[in-house]
Amino acid sequence: MWMSPFFTRSTSVSQIMLRVLLALLPGVALYVWYFGPAILVSMTLASLTALCTEAAMLKLRNRPLKPFLSDNSALLTAWLLALSIPPLAPWWLVVVGTAFAIAVSKHLYGGLGSNPFNPAMIGYAVLIISFPVHMTHWLAPHGVGSLELSFSEQLAYIFNSALPDGATLDAITTATPLDTLKTQLHMGSTVTETHHMPIYGYLAGKGSELVALGFAAGGLYLLLARIITWHLPVAFLAALFVTAELFHLSNPAQYAAPLFHWFSGAAMLGAFFILTDPITSPTTAKGKLIFAACAGVLTYLIRVFGGFPDGVAFATLFMNICVPLIDAWTQPKVFGKKGGKP
Amino acid sequence: MRTLHKFHGGVHPPTHKLESTRSPITLAAMPSRLVIPLHQHVGNRAKPVVEVGAQVLKGQLIGRAEGRLSSAVHAPTSGTVLAIDMQQVAHPSGLPDLCITLKPDGKDQWIDHSGVDYTQTSHSDLRHLLRQAGVVGLGGAVFPSDLKAYAHKHKIHTLVLNGAECEPYITCDDMLMRERASDIVHGAEILRELLHAEEVLIGIEDNKPEAIAAMRQAVSGCAKCRMEVVSIPTLYPSGGAKQLIRILTGIEVAAGIRSTEKGVQCFNVATAYSTWRAIAHGEPLLSRIVTVTGNVANAQNFEVLLGTPVDELLAQAGCKADTDRYIMGGPMMGVQLPSNRVGITKATNCIIAASPALFPPPPPAMPCIRCTRCAQVCPAELQPQDLFWFAKSDNFGKAQEFHLFDCIECGACAYVCPSHIPLVNYYRYAKSEIWARERETEASEVARERHEYRLLRIEREKQEKAEKLAQKERATLAAKQASAQPSTSAVEPDDAAQQRIEAALARAREQAAASHPQNTDHLTPAQQAEIAAIDARRAQAHAAAAPQPNEDK
Ligand code: SF4
Ligand code: SF4
- Mutation pick for ligand 1 pocket among B11, B366, B372 (CB with most ligand atoms within 8 Å): B372
Task: Name the CA radius of gyration of chain B, rounded.
Answer: 29
Kindly report the CATH number assigned to the domain that includes residue B145: 3.40.50.11540
Q: What is the percent of chain A with per-residue pLDDT over 90, rounded to a whole number? A: 56
pLDDT of residue B472: 80
Is B74 domain-assigned? Answer: yes
- Mutation pick for ligand 2 pocket among B382, B404, B417, B428 (CB with most ligand atoms within 8 Å): B382
- Which of B367, B385, B425 minimises the CB distance to A283? B385
- Decide if A279 and B369 are in contact by the 8 Å CB cutoff: yes
- State the residue range of the domain holding B147: 18-354
Residue B369 shares a structural domain with residue B329: no
pLDDT of residue B445: 73
Q: How far apart are CA B264 and CA B261, in angstroms?
A: 7
**Among A290, A274, A298, A280, CA closest to A326:** A290
Is A336 in CB contact (< 8 Å) with chain B? yes
Is B257 domain-assigned? Answer: yes
Residue B350 shares a structural domain with residue B428: no
pLDDT of residue B370: 93
Is B192 domain-assigned? Answer: yes
Q: Give the domain-ending residue among B420, B437, B459.
A: B459
Residues 6+ apart with CB under 8 A from A233: A219, A223, A271, A272, A275, A276, A292
Is B59 domain-assigned? Answer: yes
Domain count, chain B: 2
**Among B329, B337, B369, B325, CA closest to B237:** B329
Residues 6+ apart with CB under 8 A from A246: none
Is B118 domain-assigned? Answer: yes
CA B391 to ligand 1 center in whole angstroms: 14
Closest residue in A to B365 (Cα) is A67
Is B384 in CB contact (< 8 Å) with chain A? no
Cis peptide before B367 (omega within 30 of 0): no
Q: Give the nearest ligand 1 atom to B419 CA.
A: 3
pLDDT of residue A166: 72
Q: Give the nearest ligand 2 atom to B414 CA.
A: 4
- Decide if A336 and B242 are in contact by the 8 Å CB cutoff: yes
Residue B121 shares a structural domain with residue B260: yes
pLDDT of residue B553: 34
pLDDT at A291 over 80: yes
Residue B199 shares a structural domain with residue B298: yes
With contact defined as beta carbons under 8 Å apart, do B459 and B501 qualify? yes
Is B542 domain-assigned? Answer: no
Closest residue in A to B92 (Cα) is A3
Q: Give the domain-ending residue among B354, B373, B396.
A: B354
CA distance A312 to chain B (A): 21
Residue B41 shares a structural domain with residue B105: yes
CA distance B251 to chain A (A): 6
pTM here is 0.83
Give the SS3 label for residue B106: coil
Is B244 domain-assigned? Answer: yes
CA distance B549 to chain A (A): 8
With contact defined as beta carbons under 8 Å apart, do A54 and A104 qualify? no
Report the DSSP beta bridge partners of residue A54: none
Q: Tell me the per-residue pLDDT of A84-117, one tens digit each, with 9 for 90 and over.
A: 998 888 899 999 999 999 999 999 998 998 999 9
HSE (side-chain half, CA atoms, 13 Å) at B503 = 6
Residue B221 shares a structural domain with residue B103: yes
Secondary structure of chain A as H, E, C letters: CCCCCCCCCCCCHHHHHHHHHHHHHHHHHHHHHHHCCHHHHHHHHHHHHHHHHHHHHHHHCCCCHHHHHCCCHHHHHHHHHHHHCCCCCCHHHHHHHHHHHHHHHHHCCCCCCCCCCCHHHHHHHHHHHHCCCHHHCEECCCCCCCCCCCHHHHHHHHHHCCCCCCCCHHHHEECCHHHHHHHHHHCCCCHHHHHCCCCECCCCECCHHHHHHHHHHHHHHHHHCCCCCCHHHHHHHHHHHHHHHHHHHHCCCCCCCHHHHHCCCCHHHHHHHHCCCHHHCCCCHHHHHHHHHHHHHHHHHHHHHCCCCCCHHHHHHHHHHHHHHHHHHCCCCCCCCCCCCC
**Among B90, B549, B522, CA closest to B307:** B90
With contact defined as beta carbons under 8 Å apart, do A191 and A181 qualify? yes
Q: Give the domain-ending residue among B459, B482, B501.
A: B459
Secondary structure of B216-235 as H, E, C letters: HHHHHCCCCCCEEEEEECCC
pLDDT of residue B103: 94
pLDDT at A196 over 80: no
Closest residue in B to A73 (Cα) is B369
pLDDT of residue B550: 42
pLDDT at A232 over 70: yes
Q: Tell me the per-residue pLDDT of A18-57, one tens digit each, with 9 for 90 and over.
A: 999 999 999 999 999 888 888 999 999 999 999 999 999 9
**Among B41, B267, B64, CA closest to B144:** B41
Residue B348 shares a structural domain with residue B383: no
Around ligand 2, the residues with Cβ closer than 6 Å are B 377-380, 382, 384, 407-413, 423-424, 427
Q: Tell me the per-residue pLDDT of A243-253, one tens digit each, with 9 for 90 and over.
A: 999 999 998 88
Residue B371 shares a structural domain with residue B446: yes
Residue B205 shares a structural domain with residue B350: yes
Is B355 in CB contact (< 8 Å) with chain A? no
pLDDT of residue B268: 95
The DSSP call for residue B343 is: B
pLDDT at A284 over 80: yes
Q: How far apart are CA A121 and CA A113, in angstroms?
A: 16
**Among B158, B233, B259, CA closest to B3:** B233
Residue B296 shares a structural domain with residue B370: no
**Among A300, A327, A325, A326, CA closest to A315:** A300
Q: Between β-strands B287-294 and B199-205, what pairing exists: parallel, antiparallel or unpaired? A: unpaired
**Among B299, B312, B360, CA closest to B340:** B312
Mean pLDDT in residue range A334-338: 84
pLDDT of residue B78: 94
Residues of chain B with C-beta less than 8 angstroms from the C-beta of A342: 5, 250-251
Q: What is the dihedral of CA B373, B377, B380, B381, to 10 degrees?
A: 50
Better-predicted residue by pLDDT, A265 or A239: A239
Residue B334 shares a structural domain with residue B378: no
Residue B378 shares a structural domain with residue B350: no
Cis peptide before A5 (omega within 30 of 0): yes
Burial state string for B55-65 with b = 16 or more CB within 10 A and e = fewer than 16:
ebbbbbbbbeb
Is B512 domain-assigned? Answer: no
Mean pLDDT in residue range A281-298: 95
What is the pLDDT tens value at each position of chain B, 553 positions in all? 688 999 999 999 999 999 999 999 999 999 999 999 999 998 889 999 999 999 999 999 999 998 888 999 999 999 999 999 999 898 877 789 999 999 999 899 999 988 899 989 999 999 999 999 999 999 888 899 988 888 778 889 999 999 999 999 999 999 999 999 999 999 999 999 999 999 999 999 999 999 999 999 999 887 777 899 999 999 999 999 999 999 999 999 988 888 888 999 999 999 999 999 999 999 999 999 999 999 999 999 999 999 999 999 999 999 899 999 999 999 999 999 988 899 999 999 999 999 999 998 888 899 999 999 999 999 999 999 999 999 999 889 999 999 999 999 999 999 999 999 999 999 999 998 888 888 888 777 777 777 777 777 777 778 778 778 878 877 777 776 655 444 444 333 445 544 554 555 555 555 544 444 444 445 555 555 565 666 666 666 665 554 443 443 3
Mean pLDDT in residue range A223-233: 94
